[in-house]
Structure 1
Amino acid sequence: MALRKPDSGPFALGALAAAGILALTACGNGGEGADDSAAPEVSADEELAALVPDEIREAGSVSIGVEAEYPPGEYLDEDGETVLGFNVDLVTAALTKLDLEAEWVPANFDAIIIGVDSGQYTLGASSFTINEERMETVNMVSYFSSGTQWFSLAGNPEDIDPDNACGQRVAVQTGTTHDADVEARSEACVEAGEDAITIEKFPNQQLATTSVISGVNDASLADLPTSLFALQETGDQLEFIGEQYDAAPYGVVVNQDDNELADALAAAFNAIMEDGTYDAVLEEWGIETGAIDTSEVNPSVEE
């Protein structure tokens, strides 16, 4: 298969466009200048495919829960149905090595791990940071790395400091590691006798970003690729606050009982790292800084 190459064709991020605040351009498909022939070719590997559990191999496909509102990792194309993004490209390439088709199923972010655990989805892939809490209930297969990056309106008019945001208004996507991050910072403020952080939680990052642009909130935070995307696509309306921190691997979520599938997926990621597909995808999306050397099942992570 040929992976879809990012393009500069325009598309409006739903929540932002609906709010009338801005129209974003993103890496879409089928627009003028798209060149699928330049995208890396990926084909099935019989030895790797043999690692897939019989039931899944016979089905020939896997369902993947995804919260498709977190560009550039995963988002809906202009047709409102096709899921695109660098995470989509990487996972699809690995599954192709296993001779499996990917069936992407849009879902709420905080329901995906539960869905994999219950068997509703075979996999979950939605910019999930690997941490100990998540690995207590599911397997996680590493394939990328990213840290947290704060941003505010250009000029940082409220003088936000991520290390001292007491009394400030911060927007965050619910159920993410950033949600827990800000909650912990707010608790520290209260313990120090300062005002708590006013935390507004949104079902997706697009809405959180919109609230900063509109002035409802003072700052937000997201994974570095998503924060960078917001800055690039909103012109000069936003700016980074501080540096990226707490870089950690992303992981594909696999049911805790599906150890064979998790091992097969890690082997497939390592295969695309070895054959150049992995680097080609990251280069196309401009996110080479997130590359990792080896995919692992449930890697050790710093908390």
Structure 2
Amino acid sequence: MTASTTRRTTATRSRLAAVASIAVAGALILTGCGDQTDSGSDNSESTETGNSSTAPLFAKLPKKIQDAGEIQVGTNAEYAPMEFQEGGKIVGVDPDIAAALGEKLGVDFKFTSGSFDGLITSLNTGRYDIAMSSITDNKQRQEGLDDKGKKLGPGVDFVDYFVAGTAVYVQKGNPKNINSIEDLCGQTAAVQRGTTYEQALKDQSKKCTDAGEKAVKIESFENDTEAQTRVKSGGAVAGVNDYPVAIDLARKADDGNAFEVVGEQVDAGPFGIAVNKDNKQLTAALEEAVNAIIEDGTYMEILKKWGAETGAIDEAAVNGGK
């Protein structure tokens, strides 16, 4: 997302594709999201399903959402192919999955794009009903902790629907001969602030210094586009992002001539839909809806449409992240 994606390992859930990191409900974050402000674009987009009390899972929803006919979704639309803006609309894997869930639940999912590190806080203050933005499900986010174990907020529950890992991307041609995250000791790396892959760089930097090598020079940006620009210009030798995002970036940026992904994805784990811990009924309804679209094949059709089928899971889980 910074478009880091992780932006959410269970390689048995499908092919466990990759991570690739949500700030804890109060301030920090580890992988995908987490802080308090909602800066960034504030574009809204609704996945219109045609609200219907006859939908198979409508009765499972909290009455407040039944009455509203929609679920307010916080996202950071900078992570193609997961969620991004195209033609003034928020599109991608997550919006398509949300639309499919809406068919089962009988409500619309209305996406609003803001800063990634503000999603969890905005969820817990009631601005959003859920956050869906390639958010890695992990214990820190579940429990509202920062990366040092300090309590920052109430945490959130996750409904896991995808799996991905962290990937390293470099300039096309790999001029600095970077082949893995381990090669970044003493090098400058760009990343989106508040993501799990920012934490992955911090962890790697400590490994470097523990081994007597120079620390990774980490440059953290408000959004992933800035991190990409830094790598493209040569100011950073590499960027770190969610695996499906990095792959999509390498394929499409400058018609495939800007970047390439190096090495294997690491730290694979589940992406989850974040829900306020007090809203157990919504969590249960979403879990049932995810399983419903997996069972009827809609889920896999969506992933294949976006070239993200390596991240498929076989069954939804609540708080499956470690």
TM range (shorter): 0.7 to 0.9
Give runs of aligned pairs for residues 10-89 of structure 1, distance below 5 A: 46-79=55-88, 82-89=89-96
Work out the CA distance in 2 between the residues paired with 1:240 and 1:70.
16
Letter in 1 for 2:216: I
Work out the CA distance in 2 between the residues paired with 1:262 and 1:255.
8
Work out the CA distance in 1 between the residues paired with 2:205 and 2:174.
20
Point out the more displaced range, 160-169 or 58-67.
160-169
Tell me by how many angstroms 1:191 deviates.
Answer: 2.7
Q: What is the CA deviation profile of residues 228-283 of structure 1, one whole-angstrom value per residue up to 9, with x for unaligned ones?
A: 11111132332221111221111011001001100100100111111111011111
Which among 281, 298, 314 is matched to residue 293 of structure 1? 314
Matched, 1:226 2:240: no
Task: Report the equivalent of 2:210.
Answer: 191
Task: Report the equivalent of 1:147.
Answer: 165
Asked whether the equivalents of residues 55 and 103 of structure 2 are also in contact (C-alpha less than 8 Å), the reply is no
Which among 283, 302, 306 is matched to residue 262 of structure 1? 283
Unpaired runs of 5+ residues, structure 1, are 1-40
Matched, 1:252 2:273: yes
Asked whether the equivalents of residues 189 and 239 of structure 2 are also in contact (C-alpha less than 8 Å), the reply is yes
Work out the CA distance in 1 between the residues paired with 2:251 and 2:110.
30
Secondary structure at the aligned position of 1:46 is classed as coil
Give aligned pairs, total.
Answer: 259
Letter in 2 for 1:261: L
Point out the more displaced range, 124-133 or 181-190.
181-190
Asked whether the equivalents of residues 52 and 261 of structure 1 are also in contact (C-alpha less than 8 Å), the reply is yes
Which among 178, 190, 199 is matched to residue 171 of structure 1? 190
Point out the more displaced range, 127-136 or 147-156.
147-156
Tell me by how many angstroms 1:168 deviates.
Answer: 0.3
Which among 77, 97, 100 is matched to residue 93 of structure 1? 100
Structure 1 residues 237 and 128, CA gap change in structure 2 (3 angstroms): same
Identity %: 39
Which among 122, 127, 148 is matched to residue 129 of structure 2? 122
Secondary structure at the aligned position of 2:57 is classed as helix
Task: Mark the structure with the bigger radius of gyration.
Answer: 1
Point out the more displaced range, 91-100 or 288-297.
91-100
Task: Report the equivalent of 1:213.
Answer: 232
Point out the more displaced range, 167-176 or 42-51.
42-51
Between 1 and 2, higher relative CO (CA 8 Å, sep ≥ 6) is seen in 2
